A and B are shown apart, each in its own frame.
Chain A
Amino acid sequence: MNDFIRQLADITGPGFVSSEPEERYLYSMDQGTMSPAEPDAVVMPGSTEEVRKIMLLANKYKVPVVPMGGGLVLSGLTRALHGGIILDMKRMNRILQINPKSRYAVVEGGASEGMLQAYLKKHHPELKHSMPDAPPIATLAGNICIHGSGHLSVLGGFHSDMLTGMEIVLPTGDIMRTGSCSVSPEWFARAPLPDLSGLFIGWSGTTGVVTKLGIRLFPSYSHNDMLIFVCEDADLMPDVISRLTGTQVAEDMTPWMTPKPEWARGFLHINISYGAHSKKELTFKRNLLQASVKKYSDQKIAGFLPLPPTEKSRFLKIPSPDLVKFADIRKGGGFEYVGAIMAIEHFAEAYRAGLQIARMYNVSYSMGARIIGAGHAMIFFYAYAFNRADPEDIKRAQHALEATNTAALEIGGIPWKSELPAQKQIINKMDQNTFNLMNQIRSVLDPNHIMNPGNWEK
């Protein structure tokens, strides 16, 4: 291993490789509940060429490689389960190209969500991309590879749907491209080619390393507003969501249910954000949204929450730092969530299951969802806070998460960016031929099985 590490240092320079106990400790875990797994070293490549050389070397020595972006996945996907190296991609954080007419950006594999947002605000204020609710240091590549979602997901679907192409370094050291950039100098779309991007999305870093990607951009409006719809009956939610998304004017819709603050307890809220190029257009869109659920407002069983402008601006801040504050609710710096992707008609069922699990395990919870597309699916979140200094509390959160994964699968949903135990649960429910094909693809791409081993395995 020492010789291997010396050779890594030859590739990146000695300052960007470490096998010291401090790095090995810190990179052995993330913020969630999964137990630590130490890498032998951490490497930070600065270019595609360096990634290529690292992969060639790792493949030669059969050393496991775990690619890592922001390291904020919370479900332990960037742990070195079989040792080897963590490939911290964040040095490769350049924004390479903005195409304002075809509305796409090309960025390096370690570029952060926050940096792209800031870059667009400065150089192309007429454009924006879909920011996730993750902290701004989260990487675009990481988020897309886990099928993330964000503030334009009603408009544009999952972030993986917004991907226009990728540059990948395969475990064998080959550099390949997916989408239009494999044929043309431009990165406008994945169509009409065989969609090879799918070989790298949702695989938890088990098939290759993303070194560049293209992502769709959207118009940034000069006028932005949001509404909060409130009701008490979870059974109404699928129809409410269907009606609201049916207007096709919202950019983002996020239902949320929390026991705190007190005024929110027991109610189901839906934040609906939308924008426009003029006040007149904004009013028109607001009217459309309000009209779509008039049936419920007229019956006085649901309605829109009056919001002072100061409150609105808090909700319109993207990303909202308020979300990570949930980690301090037990004064313990930890939270993890199950995000289960499912059809919206299961909303009430999912909500009740969450309440029951929180009660059963006595955990501090917060529930929410993000609507994808025109109500095509939702990611239903169950977040549990825990105290990192209290092993019992961590265990409690772990049990709650496991129970939630089980419940989500029973409802018909699929845990998102699933931690190891949930991956196994999914595999157990998965069509056997699908799993066989996954394994066949994996062995073609990664003959020595060096990419994030331990994930997506029985």
Chain B
Amino acid sequence: MLHEEILHRCFRCGYCKMPSNYIDLNCPSYLAFRFETYSPGGRMWLLRAWLDGKITLSKRFSEIMFSCTACGNCTEHCPFPNFKDLLLEAFTAARGAFLDEGRVPAGVRDYLTRMQLHGNPYGLPAKKRADWAGGTEIAPFTDQEYLFFAGDEGSYDTRGQEIARSVAKLLAKAGISFGILTMGENSDGNDVRASGETALFEELAKNNTDLFNEKNVKKIITLSPHSFNSFKKEYPKLGGNYQVFHYTQVLAFIIGKLKFRENQDPVLATYHDPCYLGRHNMDYYSPRMILSAVPGLKMAEMDRNKQNALCCGGGGGNLFTDVLSSCNESPARLRVREAKNTGATIMAVSCPLCAIMLEDAVKAEGLAGDLRVMELSEIVNDRIM
């Protein structure tokens, strides 16, 4: 197994379970299940034990491994500089090994099968991928400056589609030259890779890079931080070299040029950092620059913010596989409680997965009248002239 040489070096000190301010627990799967086995250190020791023949590959062990959302809290806070960066890679490799053994939770199996067959996690036809843009003036990509990549949630999920249209509307209003692909693109594959299915990821990525290269794509704006991460960090290794931006990074630069309506009602908002824009790519400020430009909007930070942000629980394919469960202490439900405690009435997000997870959690917590999950462009669109 790749990186097996680091497994025994974990001391299980537990820094990986917490944010740097120690205010609460911060590992999504440990928060949900609370057994040491579901913490990053627990995984490290179990994997070593499995490779040493001390435990066998069981249904529970598989669930332990696939309940990790790859949020990166462990790599962020592990105090061992010589191997901390490899923790998630080791877990990914282990999941790959479990896949090779055919021992994965049913939800993961079904998720990957849909990806394999349809190129998206919803199992919907590829030809419907651009349907989200129907009725808008969004042009197909030809020779515009940017390709706008809506990703799986932006293309197929009802809420994700609303967000994709909102972002596209704002980009157009800001005068950004962009187009979308209408046929042939696949999932970015980011979470397929995190689930350990490397070959499928490479297949998805190759399909996309072939298409992007054929269309002469040079610059990409992504809706999802997951796509952003994949295109920026993984695609170059497979021959896909593009200038990649998350949409907040583009909007942060032009937000000052937008004209907002005057006399806006004051509102208190809190911002939820998505893992793949924040911890994985260390951009905590583009979204905050956008929010700070909105007249009448004041920010209240949650205790766990920026590199300490609590994951919504949707990463690593968990939005679709639900291995992490939707119990009372699910990360999404804890996160909306934390948002509510700031006094904010808007929970701002910049990732369609987070929006879906957190909106469900708001409903489950009975907070629908108190807290509204809004994607950043929706907040801006509501307030510009």
Residues in chain A within 8 A of chain B (CB atoms):
15-16, 18, 20-23, 25-27, 31, 42, 44, 70-72, 88, 90-91, 112, 114-115, 117-119, 121-122, 135-138, 321-322, 324-325, 327-328, 331-335, 387-389
Q: Are B12 and A44 in contact (CB under 8 A)?
A: no
Query: Are B61 and A22 in contact (CB-based, < 8 A)?
Result: yes
Cβ of B58 within 8 Å of any chain A Cβ, yes or no, is: yes
Tell me whether B23 is interfacial, beta carbon within 8 Å. yes
Offer 24 A-B interface pairs, CB within 8 angstroms, sorted by A: A15-B33, A20-B58, A21-B60, A22-B46, A22-B64, A25-B46, A26-B36, A26-B42, A26-B46, A27-B36, A31-B11, A31-B12, A88-B36, A117-B22, A118-B24, A119-B23, A135-B13, A135-B14, A136-B18, A324-B15, A328-B9, A328-B82, A333-B10, A335-B11
* B residues 240-299 in Cβ contact with A at 8 Å: none
Evaluate contact between B11 and A327: CB separation under 8 angstroms. Answer: yes
Q: With A26-B45, A88-B35, A324-B79 in contact, is A118–B22 under 8 Å at CB?
A: yes
- Complex Cα gap A114–B83 (Å): 24
**In the complex with contacts A114-B22, A137-B18, A321-B79, A90-B34 CB distance below 8 A:** yes
Tell me the complex Cα distance, A22–B35, Å: 10
Contact B58 A22 (CB under 8 A): yes
- Whether B122 is near chain A, meaning CB under 8 Å from some CB there, is no
Which of the segments B48-56, B133-141, B176-184, B315-323 contacts the partner chain?
A: B48-56
**Known contacts A22-B46, A22-B60; A332 and B35 CB within 8 A of each other:** no
Max chain A Cβ within 10 angstroms of own Cβ: one of B11, B17, B34, B64 = B11
Chain A, residue nearest B16 (CB): A137
* Closest CB in chain A relative to B78 CB, distance in Å: 9
Q: Which of B58, B64, B79 gathers the greatest number of chain A CB atoms within 10 Å?
A: B79
In the complex, B327 has a CB within 8 A of chain A? yes
Say whether B14 contacts A70, CB under 8 Å. Answer: yes
Tell me, yes or no, whether B8 is within 8 Å of chain A by CB: yes
CA distance A117 to B21 in the complex (A): 9
**Is B305 part of the binding interface, using a Cβ–Cβ cutoff of 8 Å?**
no
Q: Which residue on chain A has the smallest CB distance to residue B36?
A: A26
Known: A21-B56, A31-B13, A324-B80. 15 other contacts (CB 8 A): A15-B327, A20-B58, A22-B58, A22-B60, A25-B49, A90-B34, A118-B21, A119-B23, A122-B23, A137-B13, A324-B11, A332-B9, A333-B9, A333-B11, A389-B48
Contact residues in A for B113 (Cβ distance below 8 Å): none
> With A22-B46, A88-B35 known to touch, is A137 a contact of B17 (CB < 8 Å)?
yes
A115 engages B23 (CB within 8 Å): yes
* Measured CA separation A387–B42 after assembly (Å): 18
Q: Which residues of B have CB within 8 Å of A16?
A: 34
Residues of A within 8 A of B37 (CB): 22-23, 26
Chain B interfacial positions (CB closer than 8 Å to A)? 8-15, 17-18, 21-24, 33-37, 42, 45-46, 48-49, 54-56, 58, 60-61, 64, 79-80, 82-83, 303, 327
Are B54 and A25 closer than 8 Å at their CB atoms?
yes
Are A20 and B46 touching (Cβ within 8 A)? no
The 9 closest A-B pairs by CB, nearest first: A114-B22, A137-B14, A321-B79, A327-B11, A118-B23, A135-B13, A389-B8, A333-B9, A324-B13
How far in angstroms is the closest Cβ of chain A from B341?
11
Q: Separation in Å of the B65 CB from the closest CB of chain A?
A: 10
Contact A91 B13 (CB under 8 A): no
Q: Which residue of A lies closest to B35 (CB)?
A: A23
Q: How far is the CB of B144 from chain A (nearest CB, A)?
A: 48
Taking CB atoms, residues of chain B closer than 8 Å to A388 are 8-9
Q: Out of B12, B17, B79, which one reaches A325, CB within 8 Å?
A: B79
Task: Give chain A residues whose Cβ lies under 8 Å from the Cβ of B60.
Answer: 20-22
List, in ascending order, chain B residues with CB within 8 A of A21's CB.
Answer: 55-56, 58, 60
List residues of chain B with CB within 8 A of the CB of A137: 13-15, 17-18
Question: How distant is the Cα of A71 from the Cα of B8 in the complex, in angstroms?
Answer: 18
Residues of chain B with a CB closer than 8 A to A44's CB = 34-35
Question: A387 to chain B: which residues have CB within 8 Å?
Answer: 8
Contacts of A333 in B (CB 8 A): 8-11
Flag if A42 contacts B35 (CB, 8 Å). yes
Measured in the bound complex, the distance between the Cα atoms of B11 and A322 in whole Å is 13
Which chain B residue has the least Cβ–Cβ distance from A86?
Answer: B36
Q: In the assembled complex, which residues on chain B have CB atoms less than 8 Å from the CB atom of A119? A: 23
Please report the C-alpha to C-alpha distance between residue A391 and residue B79 in the assembled complex, in whole angstroms: 25
* CB-nearest residue of chain B to A138: B14
**Complex Cα gap A325–B13 (Å):** 10
* Selected contact of A331 from candidates B9, B36, B58, CB within 8 Å: B9
How many angstroms from the CA of A118 to the CA of B61 in the assembled complex?
33
Q: Chain B residues near A18: list those with CB within 8 A.
A: 35
A119, B21: Cα distance in complex, Å: 10
- Chain B nearest CB: distance from A51 CB in Å? 15
**Shortest CB distance B321–A (Å):** 18
* Inter-chain contacts of B11 with A (CB < 8 A): 31, 324, 327-328, 333-335
B6 to chain A, nearest CB (A): 9
Closest Cβ of chain B to A335, distance in Å, is: 8
Distance A223 CA – B8 CA, assembled complex (angstroms): 41
Q: Which of A71, A119, A324 has the most CB of B within 10 A?
A: A324
Chain B residue contacts of A321, Cβ below 8 A = 15, 79
Question: Which of A22, A91, A122, A333 gathers the greatest number of chain B CB atoms within 10 Å?
Answer: A22
Closest to B22 in A: A114
- The residue on A at minimum CB distance from B23 is A118
**Residues of B contacting A335 with CB < 8 Å?**
11
A91 CB contacts on chain B under 8 angstroms: 34
> CA A135 – CA B11 in complex, angstroms?
11
List the B residue with the shortest CB-CB distance to A320.
B79
Give the docked Cα–Cα distance between A435 and B60 (Å).
44
- Whether A25 pairs with B35 at a CB distance below 8 angstroms is no
Q: Which residues of chain A are near B35, meaning CB under 8 Å?
A: 18, 23, 26, 42, 44, 88
A332-B8 in contact (CB<8A): yes
CA distance A228 to B307 in the complex (A): 33
Chain B residues near A90: list those with CB within 8 A: 34
Cβ distance A142 to chain B, nearest Cβ, rounded Å: 12
Report how far A42 CA is from B33 CA in the complex, Å.
13
The residues of A that contact B13 with a CB separation of less than 8 Å are 31, 72, 135, 137, 324, 327
Complexed CA–CA distance, A86 and B92 (Å): 30
- Residues of B near A70 (CB, < 8 A) are 14
Q: How far is the CA of A114 from the CA of B12 in the complex (A)?
A: 16
CA distance A328 to B82 in the complex (A): 9
A75 nearest CB across to chain B (Å)? 15
A114 contacts B18, CB within 8 Å?
Answer: yes
Assembled-state Cα–Cα distance A225/B13 (Å): 27
In the complex, the chain B residue whose C-beta lies closest to that of A389 is B8
A71 and chain B: residue at smallest CB distance: B36
Flag if A22 contacts B79 (CB, 8 Å).
Answer: no
Among B14, B45, B49, B303, chain A packs the most CB atoms within 10 A around the CB of: B14
How near does chain B come to A69, taking the closest CB pair, in angstroms? 11
- What distance in Å separates the Cβ of B164 from its nearest Cβ neighbour in chain A? 37
Residue of A at shortest CB range from B24? Answer: A115
Closest Cβ neighbor of A327 among chain B residues: B11
Give the complex CA separation of A387 and B48 in angstroms: 13
Asked if A72 and B327 make an inter-chain contact with CB atoms under 8 angstroms apart, the answer reads: no
How distant is the Cα of A109 from the Cα of B196 in the complex, in angstroms? Answer: 39
A148 to B46, CA, bound (A): 29
Q: Quick check: B34 and A135 within 8 Å, CB to CB?
A: no
For A328, list chain B residues within 8 Å (CB). 9, 11, 80, 82-83
Chain A residues with CB under 8 A of B15: 135-137, 321, 324
B38 to chain A, nearest CB (A): 9
Residue of A nearest to B21 (CB): A118
Q: For the complex, give the distance between the alpha carbons of A91 and B10 in Å.
A: 23
Q: Which residues of B contact A389 (CB under 8 A)?
A: 8, 48
